Chains A and B, each alone.
Chain A
Amino acid sequence: MRTLVLKNFRDLRAQKWQFLAVTFLVFLGVSLFTGLYSSYLNIKATYEKFYSETNFEDFGLFVNPAPKRLLEKIRRIHGVEAVVGRITAYGTVEVGGKEIMVKLVSIPRENSKVNSIYIVEGVYPKGNEALILKKFSDRYGISIGEKLNLRVGNRTYTLRVSGTACSPEYVLIWDMSKRSGVLFVPYNVMEKITGLKGKVTEVHVKVYSDVDEVMSKVENIFKPYGIKKAYKKKDQPGYKLLRMDLKGFEHTALMFPSMLIIIAALATYVMLSRVVMGQMNVIAVLRAIGYSKTDVILHYLTYPVLIGVVGTVAGIFAGYWISSAMTSSYVDVLNLPYYVSKIYPNVTLVSVSIGMLAPIIAGSFTVKSVAEVEPAVAMKGIAVERTIGVKFERFSIMTRMAIKNVLRNPKRTVYTVLGLAMGVVLVGTSLALIDSVNEMMHVQFDKINGYDFKVECSNVKGIRALNDVKEAYPIVETWIVFERNGITEESTLIGLPVQDLYNIYDLKGRRHFPPPKGIILPEYLAKKLGVSKGEVIKAFTKVGVVRFEVYDIFPQPLFPACYANIDQLERMGFKPNYVIVKGGNENELKRFGRVTSIKDVRKDVEEMMSMMNEFFAFSVLFGVTLASAMIFNTVTINIMERRREIATLRMLGYTVREIGESILIETFILGFFGILLGFPMVLGVLKFFETTYEGEIFKMPFVIYPQTYALTTAIIIATVLLSLLPGMRYISRMKIEKVTKEVTG
């Protein structure tokens, strides 16, 4: 069988670009799967390790100042493993000539057994020292030993930086270090700063038994002092967002590579069927001289096996490299001190399985069907003469050839079209995801938030009196916990007057107004609670237990919330706590309370989205590469398969251009149907993403802008044209006498 092996290598050399293109597809699929999925596992393992090492809380309470001694009571509750009480406050520090907002968090004398501080560098603080969040220190180059001028209210303090730290509560998927930082300050110093001697404003608990039971007992202890907010681990903002992001990551890690592998399988099928069909006579001879069906099958299976082995091995190596790089950059944003990067036998096994099996299965279909053909039949070439009897007399002979070529093997045409459609899906989906992010930003910041600043105060008259202020309205913004059939869900309640600065929009861009009575719920929340329009729902709020009639339910983009009319809320006992302002000067507004600039929020969100956009841009590049490989395969194999026919045409006097036009028509027919099929598939994928990126923090309005259809089509057409170039070069350089001699060979 040595000679058959030699034939394998000669065939591979003769059609190296086609084989390389298909191998490249397998490589892309395997590397992307290995890379993305092991990144997902690395990140998951990293944060799980970090949360475990730092004893992340099972639940937390934000309370009005309450005696610290209550913590002893909590410690005595059965099921409590550890508890820490804290005082928190906001202030500013002067860094690099700028005043940056910082959150001050008290820490006990010794590192606590819940939400422990992970010291990256330096030592645990004593006296007037503080640990600083690593990300914040990196951003502003604050070094250990440096003294920070802290301003809280009208008083100033000096704190020495004893080290940099990470905390499980500040594992965030977007980097906020530009605008805010966190300082961990000894409890006794915080007592002095806040004047809350012997008090706590936050309680964090770790349990070893039923969370709900313990939580309920702890809530009872603090009820007399007033609970501002109570949450379980799953609702901790950083943790919740991270989990949601990882869920999306996991879906992406599975979906994109799966598509690639399907494309690789289709490409292998198309390529191999063309190679094998082109060697029908050779197969007949092999069978006639005594090679068995199995010999022939094994001989031709060498190609998909080689494609699988080379693509998979290279893909796994590249995948783990991608994984390490991706994990490191993702974890860097997360504010974690280290990352876990390892090789996962299961992921490797799946990579090997899909990378090897997809081309082999696809290849074996072709090879088996051909080997089944009786040698006498194969000799006559019946199997390659299949055509559909459609007449196209009104077209030129070259156009007819193109059409007949498409119809010659319907199954193969369908697979090629499917492969091209997948290329459209990759390019189209990636572009559409960028559209969706832009649309979300547009709805949130151009439509919903018409104001420039949000000031934490209720003095609307005072603000309206300021010179540059054009408009100002009071609003209520507070926490709310719904309860229905034993399910509790936390959200934000916003009470609005009818005005044009803070508008309510749904995901489809339709404007809604504050309801005359009742409440508007975001769709995800209504689904979780199983509540529908018109029903009355019970909720816990800072004014006690209230009941709302559900006025409307619809999906909302960024920061979904529950909306009610401010008048109704005021009647219930809520007091306006924010003022939204159009115009005005930030520094002047600061006199009234904490100011949030919408411009800054937009920048932060854009920063958060930039990582996502980078991924989408990478997908576009990837989609184009993939579509190119697929189209390149289709076009070049088409030319190689018909080289005798093309040589004859050239011998007859057809120019390279005329032949090229015929191939172009054929490729465009395939491309047309690929695009036609691809766009509905893009919409399907977006629908899938819609369910993935749905949650409390944001919901993506998945849209495709009209120009995206045009751009995707243009990219695919340009790729088709570029892919034609090597084939056309082959035709123009073709040694006609050599190829025509193969007719008798």
Chain B
Amino acid sequence: MPRHVVAREGEIPDGGRKIVEVDGRSIGIFRVAGDYYALLNRCPHQAAPLCEGRLWSGMTVSDRPGAYANRADVPIVSCIWHGWEFDLRTGQSLCEPQRLRVRTYDVFLEGEMDGQSEAGHEAVAPEQSLVATTFPVESDGQWIVIDVDRRPAISGTPRRDR
């Protein structure tokens, strides 16, 4: 069974999260600006419950020393322990995006249709990143579903290999 119902639509407020367990895996479901993201709840650094960390208002960027800007279009969770930052869209670490990556999962609303899953996110989402859709199905029973199989597993680099 690749798809698992994890929450009721509306259950997770914007800026909120729900941590669920699916097939023995702890997964964090985030809702940011209307979109859903799902991330394995395990930091590749020291296996902390990453998804319990702070959800930031965006990614702090800079074009010169002393200048701070916020990219609100990049949803960032920082690990509850050491503060390592991860892009919710891709699971990539901001510091070592090529080497450090947390597994992400597709998030659907039940009734999701092929071909519409990336609507509205082309501008900021890397090509390989699948993002949540909001797709109302029934007025009284909308479920949020994650797909744990469809995406190739890109696990965080285990600490033994760093």
A and B interact physically: no
